[in-house]
Structure 1
Amino acid sequence: MNYHLKHGHPSTSTSSSQPPLKLSQTTLVLKPPLSDKRKRDITDKIADFVALDMRPVNIVEGEGFKQMMKFIEPGYTVPKRDTVMHAIKNKYNTTKQVLLEKLKACTAVSFTTDTWTSNQMDGYMTVTAHFISQEWQLHSFVLETKVLEVSHTAANIAERLGEVMEEFGIPPEKRVAVVHDNAANMVLCAQQLSQNPSWGNVGNSLIAEDIVSVLRPMITLTELLSQDVNASLSATLPMLVNMKRRHLLSRDDDSTTVKAVKKKITEEIDKRWELTGSLEGSIYIQAAVLDPRFKSLSFLDAEKRDDAYATVSDLAESLSPAEEATAQREDSSGTEE
C-alpha cells in the first residue's frame, strides 16, 4: 500500500519526511465604543487643563496633543477649539454663580487692582476681590483680567472698576478698600473713588508699599514669639509696647493711609491686651517681673512699674502661709512614717 501510494499518488504520500501542518489562531480584542458620558468627561478635563494651566485653546489642534490623546484613549476624537472654548465658558459661568453667592453672603469686600501693558502694547487691567466668609475663611478671587482699550487715566480706571462692581453685584456699602501701587494714575483714581458716593465706605486708598512698611514689624514680632516651642508669656507685653512706641507712632512724613492703619492697629492692640488701663494685675506683667530679661520693666512708666512690683510682692506674701502649711503637712507625714 505504501509503495502504491508513494509511486502512484505522490501528492497523498504519508511519508514522515513532510513537516506537519501548523495552525495559527488570531485573537481579536473588541473594545466597546466610548459612551457619550465618557466623551463629555474627557472634553471637560481638557477644558480644565487649558484653564488651570493657562494654555492657548488652539493647543487641541496641535499634532502632538492629538497623538497623545490617541495613545491614551484611541476611541476619543479630539474636539475642535470651538467646542473646548464653549466648555470653558460654561465652567466660567458656573464658577461665577458660585462666586456671586459668596459675595452676596459676605459683609465687606476689599479690592486690589493694577494695569499694565504687554509686549504687544496691549493694555490690561486686573481686579481681584478679597473677603472673609461667614465661616471665617479668607477668599481671594480674580474678578476679571481684560484688555483696557482706552488710555490708563484715573477716570477710565475708576469707570472700569465701577463696571466690575455692577457686573458682580457688589453694592457700595460692601466696598471698603482699594489696594493699588503708587503710580500717579492709581493714586488719583483712588482719590476720585473716595469722593464718589457710589463707592460707599472707601474712604482711603491703600497703597501696597505703605501697608507693607507698617505690617513688616508685626511679621518680625510674630516670628520672635513663635520661634520657641514653649513661648514665654513674659516677652509678650514688652514686645507689644516697644512695637507701639517704635513702629506705630504717627510721623509727619506718613501718608494718610499709613496714619490710619497705624491708628487702627494701635487701637486693636490696646483693646485686645488691655494696655490702656491698669496693668499691675496682668499675668503678662507678673511674668515679666519674674523674668530676669524684663524685670526692670523699662517698657512701663515709673508709676506702673511700682504698681507691678507691689502686686507681685503682695502675691508672694499671700503664698507664704500656703507654702508653710504645705511644708508642715510634709513634715508630719514624714514623722508618722
Structure 2
Amino acid sequence: MASKKSNVWKYFDQVSECGVECKLCQVKLVYHKSTSSMLNHLKLKHKTLSLEPESERQEQPLITSFTSARRHYNPARRERITALITRMITKDMLPLSFVEGEGFRELMNFVEPEYRVPTRKTIISRVEQKYEEGVKKLKMDISQSEKVAITTDSWTALTTESYTTITCHYITDDWEMKSAVLQTRSSDERHTAQTNDTQHRT
C-alpha cells in the first residue's frame, strides 16, 4: 500500500493497488504512486476544502465579518437595481406607488441595505423613458416589415366600462410573429350582443 503522508488521504480510501475512492462523493480514480489526480479532484469538485496541514493553517475570518461589513457600492450596481425595479413595475403592471410600500422597502433594506429606493417621481420618469424607448423600437420594427395587420377588439371591464383595443401584427426579418398594442381607448357605448346587433342593422 502507498505511503499516506499527503493531506489528501484524509478524503480518499485506497480500494485497490491502483485505485482510490473519494470519501465525499464516492468517485473512483486511478492511482499511480502520485496524489496529483486526487488533489485535482478535490480542487475541482470540493473547492471549499482546506488541504493545508493543521499547523500551517492561518486563522480564517468569520463569515459574519464579511456580511456585517459595508459593501462597496458603485453607481453601476445602483443604476442596474433601479432599472430592474422599473422593468418589474412595467412588466407586471404594478402601481407606481409600489416603491413606496412599506413591505417593499423592508425587503430592499434587507437585500440591499446600501441601496436607496427611488421615489415615485423618479420611477415615473423612468417609466416614461422606457415607454419612449419602446415606441421608438416598435416604429423601427414596423417600418422594416413589408406588411402589417391591424385588428380591433371591443371588450368590457369588470367595472362595466367599455374599451376598444387596436393591435398591430407583423413578422420580423427572422420570421418571428409579433403583436403590439397600439392603443386602448374607452368607449361610450356598451359592447353587448344587443348593442352590436343594433349597430349592424343600422
TM-score band (shorter)?
A: 0.5 to 0.7
Identity of counterpart residues, as a percentage?
Answer: 32
| Structure label with greater radius of gyration | 1
What amino acid does structure 2 have at the position aligned with 1:133? T
| Match in the other structure for 1:142 | 181
Offset at residue 82 of structure 1 (A): 1.8
| Match in the other structure for 2:93 | 54
Q: Spell out, residue by residue over 1:174-202, the C-alpha distance to the aligned partner (whole angstroms, 9 max, x if none).
A: xxxxxxx9x738x86xxxxxxxxxxxxxx
Q: Does 1:120 align with 2:120?
A: no
Alignment CA distance shift 1:40-1:145 (3 Å): farther
RMSD of aligned residue pairs (Cα, Å): 3.2
Distance 2:119 2:65 in 1: 35
Distance 1:121 1:184 in 2: 16
| Match in the other structure for 1:75 | 114
Preserved contact between residue 115 and residue 152 of structure 1 (Cα < 8 Å)? no
What amino acid does structure 2 have at the position aligned with 1:82? K
**How many residues align structurally?**
135
Alignment CA distance shift 1:27-1:100 (3 Å): closer
Distance 2:162 2:108 in 1: 36
Deviating beyond 4 angstroms after TM superposition, the runs of 4 or more aligned structure 1 residues are 26-29
Distance 1:184 1:123 in 2: 13
Q: Spell out, residue by residue over 1:156-180, the C-alpha distance to the aligned partner (whole angstroms, 9 max, x if none).
A: xxxxxxxxxxxxxxxxxxxxxxxxx
Unaligned runs of 5+ residues in structure 1 are 1-25, 154-180, 189-337
| Match in the other structure for 1:88 | 127
Name whichever structure is richer in strand by fraction: 2
Preserved contact between residue 110 and residue 131 of structure 1 (Cα < 8 Å)? yes
What amino acid does structure 2 have at the position aligned with 1:132? I
Preserved contact between residue 71 and residue 114 of structure 2 (Cα < 8 Å)? no
2:159 counterpart SS class: coil
1:114 counterpart SS class: strand
What amino acid does structure 1 have at the position aligned with 2:132? N
Alignment CA distance shift 1:68-1:27 (3 Å): closer
| Match in the other structure for 1:184 | 196
Offset at residue 88 of structure 1 (A): 1.4
TM-score computed with the length of structure 1 as normaliser: 0.35
Preserved contact between residue 110 and residue 130 of structure 1 (Cα < 8 Å)? yes
What amino acid does structure 1 have at the position aligned with 2:163? Y
Alignment CA distance shift 1:130-1:34 (3 Å): same
| Match in the other structure for 2:136 | 97
| Match in the other structure for 2:188 | 151
Alignment CA distance shift 1:106-1:73 (3 Å): same
Preserved contact between residue 131 and residue 140 of structure 1 (Cα < 8 Å)? yes
1:55 counterpart SS class: coil
Distance 2:172 2:65 in 1: 60
Unaligned runs of 5+ residues in structure 2 are 1-63
Distance 1:123 1:82 in 2: 30
TM-score computed with the length of structure 2 as normaliser: 0.56
Offset at residue 113 of structure 1 (A): 1.6
Preserved contact between residue 170 and residue 178 of structure 2 (Cα < 8 Å)? yes
Q: How does 1:300-315 map to 2 (within 5 A)?
A: none
Q: Does 1:38 align with 2:50?
A: no
Name whichever structure is richer in helix by fraction: 1
Offset at residue 115 of structure 1 (A): 2.6
| Match in the other structure for 2:59 | none
